[in-house]
Amino acid sequence: MDHSPADVPLGMVEVVSEFVSQAPHPRLRRFVEGYTGYRSAGMAPGAHAGLPSRALTFIVAFDDPLDVEHGSGDHRSRSRYWAMLGGLHTSPAVVRHDGRQHGVQLRISPSGARALFGLPASALAHEVVPLDAVAPHVTAELVDRLSAAPTWSQRWAVLDDVLLEAIVETEQPPPEVAAAWETLVSTHGTVGISELAASVGWNRRTLSARFKEAVGLSPKSMARVMRFERAQRLLRLPSRPSLAAVAHACGYADQAHMTRDWVEFAGSAPTVWLADETVPIVQDVGDAPLSP
């Protein structure tokens, strides 16, 4: 009699935790930070938080579809996806699994949303959508070819091939928005918004409106996300600094300030999150800059 992993006692199943990364073709690096392949098996069924970040999330799943719950309040929804694109967000998504996960994830810049999918990142803010809803011209080919490729290196070649063909010339955000984005990235979100607006020659209200129109989040929200993103990377380091040291390094007023943001973005305090996230997750893919 055959057994699925869910039918077999956990101790009898081989435990697999595989993460493989690759830089995309040079022409794609402005739009895609990197390719990450993941495969895990033999784990206890559970869930982890899909955390806010400065990148849109693009995932193609193998073997089993992704089970994702996202949104907040009355707008909370849960769906399953073989291929999905998630916009910038400020509340945690919940990804449930039965002990197995297998697929590829890409971190897409806001300008990548325009170049690869023909729409501004703001159109996807706080949303998770099936990939074929925004890119029907590439979804079937991409999913079929990725699923058929037997090795990670062949999957990277498929991604390069399909995404290079998908690039279209579209109107980019104003240079002031691009400059503000780069400053937020270079300062890890610690720059003041009034100072940021002055640096690009706009007033604060104009910057906030034009930035949100292009990216989907206000500069203030994006700065908070970037501080949080840096904090959670620091807390994943093997040498793990103290919470107070991380709060200081990331520009929070104090540890309590960091904890308040953490509860909003991760759904729990840092100490609780650290206890829950005991294994690497798909989202652990580095800290390279992304273009707006």
User: Does residue 1 form part of some domain?
Assistant: no
pLDDT of residue 165: 95
Q: What pTM does this model have?
A: 0.87
User: Does residue 247 form part of some domain?
Assistant: yes
- 160 and 224 in a common domain: no
User: Does residue 288 form part of some domain?
Assistant: no
- 194 and 147 in a common domain: no
- 256 and 210 in a common domain: yes
User: Does residue 243 form part of some domain?
Assistant: yes
- 150 and 47 in a common domain: yes
User: Does residue 286 form part of some domain?
Assistant: no
- 238 and 137 in a common domain: no
Domain end call among 166, 185, 209:
166
Range of the domain at 208: 175-276
User: Does residue 285 form part of some domain?
Assistant: no
- 100 and 135 in a common domain: yes
- 243 and 109 in a common domain: no
- 115 and 77 in a common domain: yes
- 32 and 151 in a common domain: yes
Q: How many domains does the chain have?
A: 2
User: Does residue 141 form part of some domain?
Assistant: yes
- 147 and 75 in a common domain: yes
For 44, phi and psi rounded to 5 degrees?
Answer: -70, 140
| Positive/negative CA dihedral, 171, 176, 178, 181 | negative
> Cβ(220)–Cβ(186) under 8 Å?
no
d(CA 218, CA 209) in angstroms, rounded, equals 7
- 186 and 153 in a common domain: no
pLDDT of residue 23: 97
Q: What is the pLDDT along the chain (292 residues), one digit of tens a residue?
A: 344 444 444 455 688 889 999 999 999 999 999 999 999 998 889 888 889 999 999 999 999 999 999 887 777 899 999 999 999 999 999 999 999 999 999 999 999 999 999 999 999 999 999 999 999 988 999 999 999 999 999 999 999 999 999 999 888 899 999 999 999 999 999 999 999 999 999 999 999 999 999 999 999 999 999 999 999 999 989 998 999 999 999 999 999 999 999 999 999 999 998 887 644 444 444 444 444 5
d(CA 229, CA 189) in angstroms, rounded, equals 10
CATH of the domain at 268: 1.10.10.60
DSSP state of 250: T
Extract long-range pairs of 188-192: CB within 8 Å, 24+ residues apart. 188/226, 188/227, 188/230, 188/250, 188/251, 189/222, 189/223, 189/224, 189/225, 189/226, 189/227, 189/230, 189/251, 190/223, 190/227, 190/250, 190/251, 191/223
CATH of the domain at 142: 2.60.120.10
- 219 and 122 in a common domain: no
